[in-house]
Amino acid sequence: MSGERIQIILDKCTGCTLCVKACPFAAIEMKDRKAVIDYNKCTLCGACKEACRFDAIKIELEATPHYDLSLYKDVWVFCEQKNGIIQSVSYELLGEGKKLAAKLKSRLCAVLLGHELEEKVSELYTRGAEVVYLVDSPKLKHYQDEPYTEILSALVHEYKPEVFLCGATVIGRSLMSRVAVKIHAGLTADCTGLDIDEKEKLLLQTRPAFGGNIMATIITPNHRPQMATVRHKVMKEADVDDNLKGKLIKKTYEDSLFSSRSRLLDVVEEVEETVNLAEADIIVSGGRGVGKPENFEIIRDLAKVLNAAVGASRSAVDAGWIPYSHQVGQTGKTVCPKVYIACGISGQIQHLIGMQSSKIIVAINKDPDAPIFKVATYGIVGDLFQIVPALTKKFREVLKK
Ligand SMILES: Cc1cc2nc3c(=O)[nH]c(=O)nc-3n(C[C@H](O)[C@H](O)[C@H](O)COP(=O)(O)OP(=O)(O)OC[C@H]3O[C@@H](n4cnc5c(N)ncnc54)[C@H](O)[C@@H]3O)c2cc1C
């Protein structure tokens, strides 16, 4: 609570209003010529303290840990499964987790929640997990916020991981934020890079900040575990080594931990007309240059010929030309196909964040100065309405042979 950690020292406050002007959150007002803080708005950013010339604001920024951080060991990866299939983002995190564990000289552990999953455990060993924590129950068959949160929190309390990673998927984002609140840890969401500060033994969590214009590296010095969600397709999957073996720790919990205030009625799979974006080897994406929803047909035509998925920029999605599930970028999906064809997309940083690790990038844009050409392997300057249908025609001919 910010109220416990920021104070106006009334004897020193002169009512000069410098702090009111400095506060970016409009959290300070003057009452009887003294500054008064609205704790609901205050974020403890410190701008007021910096502006105050009379040393009249006291902020306790360092939260002192109330537990022994050295008890926390191991790197954990939450391995998301859907219908009993472990999602590939989990393998990416095991690959990255292995490097982090090596630098911390600790073990790599996987956490698996679901039903009838014991046969999947060996897959996690072959991807490098030395220990697998398994909680198996019919009540965990499909993801639900409350039981998953309760069980993960109980596991963390008992086994005390130092680092805890999870995919920044729809499930991961919902789950890890709840767990972080419950166990009083921090959480860096949507990371695109992880490393270890080998001197301090801290997790370096890198993610886009300020609308994607800078990359911020965040540390968690005072709380454990150091928790991060990581974007799909940013990291390389752990290699499979069939010789690797690990230790299984099966846990059971009392019924109350499985209770949920919401009830799952049905699971409806999204029907994809073309290939799934996140898994596709080739993606053809359209941006504002496509002009209107009907014109996306020429993007879809090329995608069908290439057996590719259809992507889009946020401008095309915001205009309502194509559903959000196709959006690539900072607030959409991160993709890493073999070939990414960007049609009428300017290449703003928020789009590039989601696709710049693609192996080959082909950009089609009528503006030779468009920033997309800076990341493109091949650039075609011209009108997409001529170029895309011409490519479709040619690929259709060539691929038929
Ligand atoms: C917090 C935040 C998050 C964001 N998240 C995302 C995100 O996840 N994904 C994302 O994409 N954006 C995101 N954005 C928006 C991003 O900043 C850009 O506005 C967006 O990517 C631009 O989309 P665009 O390239 O399609 O449109 P524009 O920038 O308008 O570019 C259109 C391009 O089409 C070209 N063109 C026009 N007509 C033709 C033609 N006939 N033939 C060939 N080329 C043509 C133009 O030369 C131009 O380069 C985000 C922004 C913010 C602030």
Q: How far apart are CA 305 and CA 339, in angstroms?
A: 14
The CATH number of residue 192's host domain is 3.40.50.620
Ligand 1: centre distance to CA 348 (Å): 6
Tell me: do 316 and 196 sit in the same domain: no
Tell me: do 126 and 95 sit in the same domain: yes
Cβ of 327 less than 6 Å from ligand 1: yes
What is the pLDDT at residue 385?
Answer: 98
Cβ of 330 less than 6 Å from ligand 1: yes
Tell me: do 200 and 74 sit in the same domain: yes
Nearest protein Cα to ligand 1, atom 36? 289
Tell me: do 104 and 230 sit in the same domain: yes
Tell me: do 124 and 231 sit in the same domain: yes
Ligand 1, from 214, 365, 383: best to mutate by most atoms within 8 Å of Cβ? 365
* Ligand 1 atom with minimal separation from the 287 CA: 26
Tell me: do 206 and 88 sit in the same domain: yes
Answer yes or no: is 187 within a domain: yes
Cβ of 365 less than 6 Å from ligand 1: yes
Ligand 1: centre distance to CA 207 (Å): 21
The yes-or-no verdict on residue 152 having pLDDT over 70 is yes
Tell me: do 127 and 246 sit in the same domain: yes
Percent of the chain with pLDDT over 70: 96
Q: How far apart are CA 200 and CA 202, in angstroms?
A: 5
What is the pLDDT at residue 177?
Answer: 97
The CATH number of residue 24's host domain is 3.30.70.20
Cβ of 197 less than 6 Å from ligand 1: no
Mean pLDDT calculated for residue range 36-48: 90
Among 231, 258, 285, identify where a domain stops: 258
Answer yes or no: is 390 within a domain: yes
Q: Cβ distance 106 to 75 under 8 Å?
A: yes
Nearest protein Cα to ligand 1, atom 37? 289
What is the pLDDT at residue 400?
Answer: 81
259-283 pLDDT, tens digit per residue, is 999 988 988 776 655 567 888 899 9
Answer yes or no: is 389 within a domain: yes
What is the pLDDT at residue 60?
Answer: 80
Mean pLDDT calculated for residue range 294-302: 97
Mean pLDDT calculated for residue range 217-235: 93
Cβ of 179 less than 6 Å from ligand 1: no
Among 21, 40, 59, identify where a domain stops: 59
Among 16, 32, 59, identify where a domain stops: 59
The yes-or-no verdict on residue 364 having pLDDT over 90 is yes
161-213 pLDDT, tens digit per residue, is 999 999 999 999 999 999 999 999 999 999 999 999 999 999 999 998 876 67
Tell me: do 78 and 225 sit in the same domain: yes
Nearest protein Cα to ligand 1, atom 12? 314
Mean pLDDT calculated for residue range 322-338: 91
What is the pLDDT at residue 18?
Answer: 96
* Ligand 1 atom with minimal separation from the 367 CA: 47
Answer yes or no: is 266 within a domain: no
What is the pLDDT at residue 65?
Answer: 63
Cβ of 104 less than 6 Å from ligand 1: no
Percent of the chain with pLDDT over 90: 80
The CATH number of residue 294's host domain is 3.40.50.1220
Cβ of 54 less than 6 Å from ligand 1: no
Ligand 1: centre distance to CA 217 (Å): 26
Answer yes or no: is 43 within a domain: yes
Closest C-alpha among 87, 67, 69 to residue 78 = 87
Nearest protein Cα to ligand 1, atom 19? 315
Tell me: do 246 and 281 sit in the same domain: no
Tell me: do 183 and 241 sit in the same domain: yes
The yes-or-no verdict on residue 254 having pLDDT over 60 is yes
Tell me: do 153 and 6 sit in the same domain: no
Q: How far apart are CA 329 and CA 327, in angstroms?
A: 7
Tell me: do 104 and 132 sit in the same domain: yes
Q: How many domains, the chain? A: 3
Answer yes or no: is 265 within a domain: no
Structural domain of 327: 277-400
Answer yes or no: is 310 within a domain: yes
What is the pLDDT at residue 275?
Answer: 65
What is the pLDDT at residue 1?
Answer: 47
* Ligand 1 atom with minimal separation from the 286 CA: 26
Ligand 1, from 277, 284, 350: best to mutate by most atoms within 8 Å of Cβ? 350
Answer yes or no: is 264 within a domain: no
110-137 pLDDT, tens digit per residue, is 999 999 999 999 999 999 999 999 999 9
Closest C-alpha among 55, 28, 65 to residue 43 = 28
81-99 pLDDT, tens digit per residue, is 999 999 999 999 999 999 9
